[in-house]
Amino acid sequence: SLCLDLTVKTQSRPGQPWCQVQGSVDTKPFLQYDSDSNKVRPLGFLGEEVNDTKAWTQLSQTLGEAGRKLRMVLPDIKLDRKEMRGPPSLQVRLCCQREAEQCSGASLLFSLNGRTALLLDTMSITWIVIDPGATRLKEEWESNQELAEYFRKISTGDCSYWLREFLEHWENMLLPEPQSTSIHLVACIILLIITQLVLIASSS
């Protein structure tokens, strides 16, 4: 799975970007983006492996566009809670999965000022209220077909495309788990043998 964690603010202090993004594949970070530089920076071997691809260039452009679009809707977001004070910040976790050469799942999780509010299943365009205070927001966004279509496109379309393209480069880089499992198994066997030897020595 590929996930992009976006944080967008209406206001930011000097020297602090109003939009920041971290991308990961199977929980392994591979990119960072900020609105000040308007550039995507590769992280680790995974990022370095794909930062010269066409998909990487398109991803860079799309993250800037997504940040601007979310910043435009942020001032209109209001939860039904009086304790929400100060300039709001929106956190969006966009994830997609692929199976059998096609997108098998995609969603966006929205949080406001760190409080999880809404989940959008973009495969079926189903909105799920997590914070009851977000009920009004859900109704507003549910009736905004243009916004819902944008969320669907960026998750089931763009995200799935990036994952497909990147996996071609990562195919041999995302398979360390079986090796670590075998190492753990060997360690257990060695420990068992040592235990048996100790028991034999103590009984003789």
- Tell me the per-residue pLDDT of 94-112, one tens digit each, with 9 for 90 and over: 998 877 677 878 899 999 8
Which tens digits make up the pLDDT trace of 9-66? 987 777 788 999 999 988 899 999 998 888 899 998 889 999 889 989 898 889 999 9
> Do residues 150 and 69 lie in contact, with contact meaning Cβ atoms separated by under 8 Å?
yes
Q: Label residue 178 by pLDDT band (50, 70, 90).
A: very low
Give the model's pLDDT for residue 203: 54
Phi-psi bin for 62: left (phi > 0), alpha (psi -120 to 50), beta?
A: alpha
Kindly state which CATH superfamily the domain 2-173 is placed in.
MHC class I-like antigen recognition-like (3.30.500.10)
> What proportion of the chain, given as a percentage, has pLDDT over 70?
78
Question: What CA–CA distance (Å, rounded) separates 83 from 103?
Answer: 39
13 or 81, higher pLDDT: 13
